[in-house]
Amino acid sequence: MKKIIITGVSSFIGFHLAKFFSRNYKVYGTLSMKLNNYNDINKLRLNSIVGNVTFIEDFNLMNHSDIKKTISNIKPDYFIHHAGWSKSYSSFDYDLAKGFNTNVIPLSFLFSSLKESNCKGIILTGSSAEYSDGEIPDLETDICYPSMPYGFVKLSQSIYAKQLSNQYNLPTRLARVYIPFGPFDSPNKLLPYVINNLYNDRPSKLSSCTQIRDFIYIDELVKIYEFLLLDLTNQNFEIYNCASGKPLQLISLLKLIAEEICKPLELLDFSSIKTRELDQKYSCANNVKLKEKYNVIGDMDIMDGVKDYLNFIRKNNF
């Protein structure tokens, strides 16, 4: 059975990647601390994949000898690098030093170690935050001027990864992810927050929610990673926008969710929070490159994903 190392498996996307790939691969998932030290949603995620994933505990991206030792011992066929520093990602308070130390600096050690171990390739999780603010869908070939420090760090990661891919002749795919949602999502994110309040007949304190965003259901996203992994047979570096490509205004989506679970729209208070002045008004992907090559996205309507997510919540009392 082929082996994959996936970093950051306690996170929402990392967990789903580990769960998905463990069906057909031997998955090793890195954790930044001991398994028993995790709490809340992270603990629920990890407990649900115990036995299916081999955990690498206390994995420190800033310990470069640890990176080399781990890769040398496992000799993975593939490597999916998802872990990184994302605290306060939407704020100017984002810690640039920690961002570079975890997202950028370790890349040279990752690439050199993976090459030495004859790894077939690496997939890195990028971000829609790398793009400039605009009013049209983002293209992978766009010149990027991120508006936030987190976007700057992720863009730096992308640029450095391309250089290292060329240096080590290691096939590399960058997945620029937009807004994923689904089971085991963090409760403080917008959709889980609103859905939980609706089910409990509590009002949600919201801004005007006029922003336009591109959501993708998590089941669709992990399938994209699978196709990116298969594409690693090509000796090159490629960026792919990972999104539905179907922009929605937040207020419209939240109203559709309330109607779907038969709750009054009055529970959605769109006037209690002031919209942040620097908040991006429009964020959507042009995903033609991915659709033309793989034909794996675009079929699922956003509400189909919402309904699946709601079914999970109902069945699991989440």
Q: Considering only CA atoms, which of 268, 280, 266, 256 is closest in space to residue 206? A: 268
Share of the chain above pLDDT 90, in %: 83
Burial tier of 251 (Cβ tally within 10 Å: 0-12, 13-18, 19+) = middle
DSSP secondary structure letter of residue 15: H
Q: Considering only CA atoms, which of 59, 71, 102, 72 is closest in space to residue 5? A: 71
Residues 240-248, mean pLDDT to the nearest whole number: 92
The reported pLDDT for the residue numbered 280 is 83
**Do 35 and 9 meet the contact criterion of CB atoms below 8 Å apart?**
no
Residue 109's pLDDT band, with cuts at 50, 70 and 90, is: very high
The reported pLDDT for the residue numbered 297 is 59
d(C-alpha 187, C-alpha 150), whole Å: 22
Query: Within 10 A of 124 (CB to CB), how many other CB atoms are there?
Result: 26
The reported pLDDT for the residue numbered 300 is 66
The reported pLDDT for the residue numbered 26 is 98
124 Cα distance to chain centroid: 10
Least confident of 198-207, 224-233, 235-244, 294-303: 294-303
| Beta carbons within 8 Å of 44's beta carbon, 6+ residues apart | 184
Residue-wise pLDDT tens digits, 2-32 = 999 999 999 999 999 999 999 999 999 999 9
Average pLDDT taken over every residue of the chain: 93
The reported pLDDT for the residue numbered 200 is 94
Residue 279's pLDDT band, with cuts at 50, 70 and 90, is: confident
- Domains, the chain, ranges and CATH? 3-179+215-242 (3.40.50.720), 182-214+246-285+301-316 (3.90.25.10)
**CA dihedral for 19, 20, 23, 26, sign (positive or negative):** negative
Pairing of strands 78-81, 3-6: parallel
The reported pLDDT for the residue numbered 53 is 98
The reported pLDDT for the residue numbered 294 is 77
H or E element: which one contains 102? none
Question: Over 70: is that where the pLDDT of 224 sits?
Answer: yes
Q: How far apart, in Å, are the Cα atoms of 177 and each of 125, 196, 241?
A: 7, 25, 6
The reported pLDDT for the residue numbered 222 is 96
d(C-alpha 166, C-alpha 172), whole Å: 9
Residues 56-71, mean pLDDT to the nearest whole number: 92
Q: What is the pTM of this model?
A: 0.95
DSSP secondary structure letter of residue 94: -
Q: Which residue has the higher pLDDT, 25 or 246?
A: 25
Residues 191-216, mean pLDDT to the nearest whole number: 95
**CA dihedral for 178, 18, 33, 102, sign (positive or negative):** negative
Share of the chain above pLDDT 70, in %: 97
Q: How far apart, in Å, are the Cα atoms of 246 and each of 48, 216, 266, 284, 287?
A: 31, 9, 26, 7, 9
Residue-wise pLDDT tens digits, 151-197 = 999 999 999 999 999 999 999 999 999 999 999 999 999 999 999 99
Question: Over 90: is that where the pLDDT of 273 sits?
Answer: no
